[in-house]
Structure formats: C-alpha cells, structure tokens
Amino acid sequence: MNALLIYAHPNHASLNYAFFEAVQEGIKHNPAINEVDTIDLYEEDFNPALVFHEKKRRRDMHIDPDYEMYREKIKRADLLVFIYPIFWGRPPAMLLGFIDQNFSANFAYRHEGLLPEGLLKGKQAVCVSTMKGPGFYSRFYLGNAHKILMKRALFKFVGISKVKIFEFGGMEKKNGKQKKYLSRVRAYFRKLAK
C-alpha cells in the first residue's frame, strides 16, 4: 500500500505537526505500507487561489501542468491522509484550495449523466484534524459540518468510500489529552491495513 500525507498547517512547532509526526511514526512500523510521500502545503508555498481565464480554463484543470505532480502523487496513493486544523467549522483555505485544484473533473470524477462517477475508487482516506473548541461543539452546534464536507461532499463524490475522520476538540488546553490522542493516531496507523 502506498500512502500520501497532505499536511496543511503553517507552523512546524504546532500540535498539528506533532500529529503529522505521529502519523509518520505509525506508518513507519506498518508492514502493509510500502511507500510514503508527503505534501506540506505551506512549506511548498502552494497557491490555493483558483485562476481561470481564456488560457487557463476550468474544464482543463485535469491536464493543467501546474498540478501534474500533485495528480501523480494522488494517483499513486492507495491511502490519502490529510492532517489539518479546523477553522470556522471547516478545513483551512489552503487545504480547500488544494482540493479545488487537484480533485478536478476528469481526474477525480466524471460527470456525464445525472450522478457523478467517482474516479478514485479503491483508495481510502483518513483525516486527522484538531480544533480549539470542544468536540461536542462541532457535533451538536455545527451538525458535523466538517465531517459531512469531507465524507460526503468530497470523498463520496470522487469514489472514496473507506474514510476515517479523527476530529480532536479542546486542543489548546494543556490537560494530557494531546498525548493520549497522539498515541491513538500513532497506534491506528501502525495497524491500518488495506
């Protein structure tokens, strides 16, 4: 199994980076995972802004040379792992821009009839996300908006049905939960199988 880790946080001294390292540590001890590739969106200075004009058309995004490297990494991966904070009940704009530009029509899905056909079938996805507010806030007040966005609006649409979402709330409090959650993520990736 080949894994692609997509990290979307600007600070390498952050808790999100500790989760990124925990994912890598778990994967390192998993014999089912052969190859690991990473994309650090802030480190790579990825531009999340969509640009369309007469020379750069939306319908040609699936062949846009600016995103070829990312499309190849996504194609090669059996497992897509996204590590990011939750801002305003959703992933950061940097990650959403990456999704907008790379999960494009005729690459990630095809829309020829009434319903789209996902072209990324057979892959699995894991999201590891953190937020300042308590976990129940996302579930009860926001109606699981983040999970619905990722599971239904993105992964289901592109054909990825095996999805796991870790959503850790209350992460700015120093109460020992961080270590517990880091261990949980590390253990999950050690045992993850196809």
CATH for 2-191?
A: 3.40.50.360
Give pLDDT, residue 142: 52
CB–CB of 192/79 below 8 Å? yes
pLDDT tens digits, one per residue of 152-164: 899 999 999 999 9
Closest listed residue to residue 105, CA positions, set 62, 160, 65, 63? 62
Specify the pLDDT at position 57.
Answer: 84
What is the chain's mean pLDDT, rounded? 90
DSSP state of 113: S
pLDDT confidence bin for 140, thresholds 50/70/90: very low
Residue with tokens 């007040």: 141
Domain ranges of the chain: 2-191
Q: Per-residue pLDDT tens for 37-72?
A: 999 999 999 999 988 888 888 888 898 999 999 999
Q: What tokens were used for 12?
A: 């390498």
